[in-house]
Amino acid sequence: MDTIFTLLMVLIMIACILLVIVVMAQNPKGGGLSSTFGGASSAQFGVQRTNDFMEKSTWTLGTVIIVLILISVIVTGKPKKTAIPVPPVPAKTEAPANKTAPASGTQTPASPTK
C-alpha cells in the first residue's frame, strides 16, 4: 500500500512539474513557443498547431493530476485512529474535613444542666 501511494505521489509531482513547464512556455498574448516556430517551420508545425498542442497539454496534465489525486485518496482510505492512549488518572481520595487530630480520648457531649 505504501509503495502504491509513493508511486502515485511521484507521478503527481512529475505531472505538476510538466504542467508548470507547459504553462510557462505559453505566452498570454498568443505568442509563446508558437512565435518561435512560426517562421521557418510553419508548414509542419505552425502557429495554430502549437497553440492547440499547448492548450491540450495543459488540460490533459491538469486532468491527470486531478485523477491521480483522487486515486491516491481512494488507495489510502480512511485514516486509522492512532491517538496516543491517555493513562488513567488515579482516583482522588477524599481528605478528611477536619485536618486537626482529635484530642486524646473520646469526647462526650456536655449534659444539659438542670
3-state secondary structure at position 11: helix
First-to-final CA distance of the chain: 93
Q: Which of 14-23, 52-61, 95-104 has maximum average pLDDT? A: 14-23
Indicate whether 70 pLDDT > 50.
Answer: yes
Quick check: 5 and 75 in contact, CB under 8 A?
Answer: yes
Name the residue with higher pLDDT: 21 or 107. 21
Indicate the pTM of the whole model: 0.53
Q: What is the predicted pLDDT for the residue at 106?
A: 62
Rounded-to-integer distance, Cα 22 and Cα 17, Å: 9
